[in-house]
Structure 1
Amino acid sequence: MTTRAEAPPSAPSEPAESKLRSYARLGKLDVYDYYPAIAVAFSAALSQGNAAVSGALAATALFLVGSVFVLMSMVALDDVTGYLDGSDIANYGPDDPLRNKRRKPLVAGALTVREALGFAWTSAAVGAVLWAAAVASAPYRPTWTVVLIVVLFVVSLQYSYGVKLSYHGFQEAFLCLLGAAMTMATYGLVAGHFSGFVLVQGVLFGFGPLMFGVYSNTNDIPGDRAVGRPTAACLLSPKGNAVFVGALSAAEFLLGAAASATGVAPWWFVLLMLPVTVLRTRQYLVGFREGDIMRARRIGFRTHRVGFLLLIAANLIVLVEAAG
């Protein structure tokens, strides 16, 4: 008997792309929004004048490239699960013309499940080797950092495959904590110690993917509900989901404000991050007042990119102040 996983892909309705292009789509190489966490962490280490930073470029580069492979594995496994349970077919099918089916090569028929799994596990293996090399070459290897990297690797592969964390109510927390963990892991390898200010930066960085993720989930309610994926958007009423997203938007601002007020961050940090608050407010109004969820999602990408540039700028300001 032929199983769904063994079935050949259906003929695509559009001109076929190369396999290389399809694998790049499977690995979401055009979505780079987690990778600048490494730059945020490195700039934070620079701002603290750590003597070992000059010798940490190799470890940082290895961790960055390893992160690309680990995350490619994570999103490829997510696509496999979404294809097999039918949620991606529902969310990227003909009833939702706002989503580009080619971004899901399994749904588009460009790759088979076997090919996707092979890509995912190969990427995971390469990522593991590169992260191990980053740890081995780093100027510091504090225990908490090594443990964090191991946990980050294991949990990333369980996001929607294996244990399927995102199918048990942990999706929103994961989206934020992944960015925070990547930031802290890089910082630990380069600086060798914990920093409350860097943790704040890591969480704020993680808010970026979280805050375009919750808008995606709002758009994907029918498909996610059909497969029992309990995102907040699925579990809450439309009004409740709007309140939830609004509360997250406010929490992002309040975290920066609290950090400035308590001295964890410089007093001016909350003011520097105000452009993010303005864009986040615009995102919310477009999504929940104007009802254009997918345009709001796109604003979320722009907001995140402004946000991590401001985080890097904050660290450079601290560096200049220290030098002065």
Structure 2
Amino acid sequence: MTSDVNLARGAGPETRQESKFRSYLRLGKLDVFDYYIGILVVSAAVLLPVAAVAPGTVPMLLLFLAGEVCTIVAMVALDDVTGYRDGSDIENYGPNNPLRKKLRKPLVAGTLTEAEAMRFAWITACAGALLWAGAIAVAPYRPMWTVVLIAATYVISLQYSYGMKLSYHGFQEAFLVALGVALVFGPYGLATGEFSGFLLVQAVLFGMGPLMFGVYSNTNDVEGDRAVGRPTVAALTSPRGNAIFIGALSAGEFVLVAAASLTGVAPAWFVLLMLPATILRARQYYLGFGRGDIMRARKLGFTVHRTYVALLVLANLLIGTGILA
């Protein structure tokens, strides 16, 4: 009887051979590291020139990164639990959607139980809190705005799809950007104790990356999200309205970069340095809405984001080494 229930919910006998360790890695989505590489942007901004680096900066960055991994792992695990309970993951990853890899959702695949997923989520959440507290304790600076930002990021992250379920009340897209901003600006504040307009521009560009492969995922998952009342923009609007929204976001990245260069918030050469990522973003939109290949466009979004990160790191290195100002 149990076997019949598992098969009905999307699990198949071929998926039960995977090890628990592998299933926990999948639950935590550790292969998707695109939020974690924000620490490279911050490091490039604060570790040069070496003589000016405050004591405690490097340990703080390492602790912050470790806490960030644990917190996000907890967040996505809780998201999977909620998606399993409300049926949206079964709809989006079940037998009616063969393009999606069922093993990426261990609860749907039957490789983990709900109790195991919850235990994993709360253990990693506690570890994240302790590690971020440690990062604050060893940081060279602890401005109140930074401490509040990190604390709020921690609490809100765990409420993304669980508890208050913010993503079920129309905040999904805004949250994805805000999380990226906080993961760059939080450690920057702990390292320098200062606000920087240029770093804020970089943080927003960084946060746009996860948003831009998120909105393509939402476009693909629109039926499942509508079925459970998850109000993403894709679920709330028409296909044309969703295409306009994503087009506006894509153009908005370039406008932000160009405005920062024109106003002096960023160096004048910054807009030129970012052009490869801008071109890739246009290519992503063409694939998704010109060619109608949403999943290929989503996949390209990871490349676009990583290109932005590489260029942001390069910009900070050019400034930090004095090659360009």
Same fold flag (TM > 0.5): yes
1:153, distance to aligned residue in structure 2 (A)? 0.3
CA contact (8 A) 2:16 2:111 kept: no
Aligned to 1:215: 216
47-56 vs 273-282, greater mean Cα deviation: 47-56
1:229 aligns to 2:258 (yes or no): no
Per-residue CA shift, 1:54-78, capped at 9, x if unaligned?
Answer: 5311010000011000000000000
| Corresponding position of 2:71 | 70
Counterpart for residue 194 of structure 1: 195
User: In structure 2, how many angstroms separate the alpha carbons of the residues matched to 1:143 and 1:322?
Assistant: 34
Name the aligned partner's letter for residue 127 of structure 1.
G
Alpha-carbon deviation of 1:322? Answer: 6.6
Matched with 1:137 is: 138
Where structure 1 has 5 or more consecutive residues not aligned to the other structure, the ranges are none
Residue identity opposite 1:159 in structure 2: Y
1:99: which partner in 2?
A: 100
Asked if residue 167 in structure 1 is aligned to residue 165 in structure 2, the reply is no
Contact 1:83–1:106 under 8 Å retained in 2? yes
Q: Cα offset for 1:98?
A: 1.2
Tell me which amino acid in the other structure corresponds to 1:45: V
Q: Is the 8 A contact 1:22 1:110 kept in 2?
A: yes
**Greater displacement, 53-62 / 222-231:** 53-62
State the alpha-carbon separation in 1 of the partners of residues 290 and 188 from structure 2: 39
Deviation at 1:191, TM superposition (A): 1.0
Residue 35 of structure 1 corresponds to which residue in structure 2?
36
**2:252 counterpart residue number:** 251
Please report the TM-score for the alignment, with normalisation by the length of structure 1: 0.95
Instruction: State the partner residue of 2:47.
Output: 46
**2:276 is matched with which residue?**
275
1: CA distance between counterparts of 2:201 and 2:315?
A: 12
What letter is aligned with 2:261? S
Q: In 1, distance between residues paired with 2:122 and 2:175?
A: 21
Question: Is contact 2:28-2:77 (8 Å) kept?
Answer: yes
1:129-188 deviations in Å (ceiling 9; x for gaps): 000000001111111110001000000000000001100101001111101111000101
Find the aligned partners of 2:250 and 2:27 in 1 and give their Cα distance: 30
CA distance in structure 2 between the partners assigned to 1:212 and 1:179 by the alignment: 13
C-alpha spacing 1:323/1:100, structure 2 compared with 1 (3 Å): closer
Alpha-carbon distance, 1:14 to partner:
3.3
Which whole-Å deviations, capped at 9, do the CAs of 1:193-233 have from their partners, x for residues lacking one? Answer: 11110010000000100000000000000100000000000
Give the % identical residues.
Answer: 63
Matched residue type, 1:121:
W
> CA 1:243–1:47 in 2, change beyond 3 Å: closer, same or farther?
farther
Residues of 1 paired with 2:228 and 2:50: CA distance?
A: 50
Residue 13 of structure 1 and its aligned partner are, at CA, apart by 3.1
Give the Cα separation in 2 of the matches to 1:15 and 1:77: 21
Which SS does the other structure have where 1:223 is aligned?
Answer: helix
Give the C-alpha shift of residue 87 in structure 1.
0.2
Secondary structure of the 1:234 match is helix
Moved over 6 A (4+): none
5+ residue gaps, structure 2: none
Deviations 1:17-43 (A, max 9, x none): 100000000000000000111111121
What's the counterpart of residue 294 of structure 1? 295
**Contact map agreement 2:27 2:105 (CA 8 A) in 1:** yes
Superposition TM-score, scaled by structure 2 size? 0.94
After superposition, give the CA deviation of every residue in 1:283-303 in whole Å (9 maximum; x if it has no partner): 001000111100000000000
Query: 3-state SS of the aligned residue for 2:15?
Result: coil
Preserved CA contact (<8 Å) 1:91 1:223: yes
